[in-house]
Amino acid sequence: MQPGPRVVLGVTGGIAAYKAIEVCRRLVDAGAHVQPVLTQGALRFVGETTFSALASEPVKTSLWSESDPIPHTRLGQGADVIVVAPATARLLADYATGRSNDLLTATLLATRAPVVVCPAMHTEMWEHPAVQENLATLRRRGVVVVDPESGRLAGGDIGHGRLADPTRIVNAVFAALGPPDLDGVNMVVTAGGTREAIDPVRFIGNRSSGKQGHALAVAAARRGARVTLITTASLPAPGVSDVVAVVSAAEMHDAVMARAASADVVVMAAAVADFRPVTVADHKIKKAGGPPEIRLEPTVDILAALGRHKRAGQILVGFAAETTDVATHARSKLEAKGADLLVANDVSAPATGFEHDTNEVIIYGADGTATPVPMTTKEGVAERILDAVAGLRLHSPPPRIDNPDQQAQTTPPKEQQ
C-alpha cells in the first residue's frame, strides 16, 4: 500500500487560522501525511500543541533549528503539495515578490511541488489593487488560488474575504496533486442500515450509522468519480453528484438495480436487513394486547443480485460485519456473492464498526489477497478501499458504455420481492 501524499500545511497570522485546524484534521483523515508550518503571527491565534497533536509530524516554526540546518529545503523538496490556509495579504505579497523572511516563505521558494493558497482577509484588503495584482502574479506562475467566500467576518461585518470552507480547501489540495485516479468513473455507493416496518411506529433495524458509506462516497467524489449515493442516513455528502434517500431493503434494492447497469463500480457499504415482517400493521400495535407474533421472511439479497448481473469489467465491493470467524465468513461471502472485493470487520471489537468514527478492516480480494487496514478513521478506511478499487481498474479497465441502447439492454431484471 502506497503512503499518502506529503502535504506541508502553512498557517499564517489571521483570525481564520483556527479553521486551519479542521483543514489539518480532514487532510489526515483523507490519508495525507501532514507537516504543519506555522508563522509567528499564526501562533498569536492558534496553539502549536493542537496542530502537533492532529498532524502527522510536530509543528515547525523556525528556520533556525539545531536538529535541521536547512529545514526549508527539506520541506520544499519532500512535499508533494503545499497549502497555505489562511494566506494573509502579507504572505501573498512576500510570495509574489520572492521575499523570504521565515520558514514558510522560504519553503514556498524552495519547492517545485504544486502550491495552493487560500486567502482570508477583510473585504477592503481583499479588493485592494495590490492584493489582486499579487494574486494575478501567483496565478500566472501556476499557483492554485482558492478564493475566499462571502459571509460574516471578524468584527461582525459582512463581506467577501472569509476563508473558503475546509471541504473546498481539501478538495483543491488533492486536485493539485494531479489527475484523480477515479476520474470519470461512474460509481454507486450504498450507506446506512435499512428499516423494515412492523407498524407505523416500530421497525426491525440495525446499528449502522451510514458513516462508512458516506465517507466512501465523499472520498470517491474527491478522487474524480461521479457518485450516486443511495442511503438511509441523513449525513452530509459534499461533492456527491446524486443522493437518493431510501428506508427499506426493498427500496434500496430498487434504487440500486435501477442504476447498477451503467455503473463502473458498485460499493455495497449499507447494512441491509436480512429479514422483514411478512405483514405490516396499518396502526400502532398496543402493548395491552400482549406481545405480538411477528413472522419474518427474507429480504432480497442485493449483493448476490448484483453479482449475478455484473457486467464484464464492472467492480463489485461487498461488506461483511461479523462477530466471529471473520476471515472464514468473509471469504465465503466473497465467493458466494460474486464480489471482487469484500471489506470485513469484527463489529464486536472496541471502536470499530457501527456508530463509531473509527474502523479496522481487512480487504479480501477475489484473487486471494487479504489487506489489513489498522485502526484509523472511517475516512482513512474509505481511502484504502478506494486504493484497492483503483488498483483493480488499473490492471483491468472496464469497458465504457457509450450507446444508450446498449446500456438499456444490459439493465438487469427486477428481483422478485
Q: Quick one: three-class SS letters along 92-114?
A: HHHHHHCCCCCHHHHHHHCCCCC
The answer to whether the CB of 7 falls within 8 A of the CB of 390 is no
DSSP string, 249-294: HHHHHHHHHHHHTT-SEEEE-SB--SEEESS--SSPPPGGG-SPP-
Question: What are the cell numbers at 219?
Answer: 472520498
Neighbouring C-alpha atoms within 13 Å toward the C-beta of 368: 0
Which helix (DSSP H) or strand (DSSP E) does residue 387 occupy? helix 378-395
Please state, in angstroms and rounded to a whole number, the distance separating the CA atoms of residues 406 and 262. 10
Please state, in angstroms and rounded to a whole number, the distance separating the CA atoms of residues 365 and 360. 17
The answer to whether the CB of 339 falls within 8 A of the CB of 318 is yes
Please state, in angstroms and rounded to a whole number, the distance separating the CA atoms of residues 134 and 127. 12
Please state, in angstroms and rounded to a whole number, the distance separating the CA atoms of residues 302 and 239. 26
Please state, in angstroms and rounded to a whole number, the distance separating the CA atoms of residues 277 and 296. 4
The answer to whether the CB of 388 falls within 8 A of the CB of 363 is yes
Residue type, 413: P
Residue type, 126: W
Please state, in angstroms and rounded to a whole number, the distance separating the CA atoms of residues 357 and 122. 36
Has 206 been annotated as catalytic? Answer: yes
Pick the catalytic residue from 206, 345, 359, 403.
206
Please state, in angstroms and rounded to a whole number, the distance separating the CA atoms of residues 194 and 203. 9
The answer to whether the CB of 282 falls within 8 A of the CB of 258 is no
Which helix (DSSP H) or strand (DSSP E) does residue 53 occupy? helix 48-54
Report which DSSP code applies to 185: -
SS3 call for 107: helix
For the chain, give the number of residues: 417
Active site residue ranges? 206
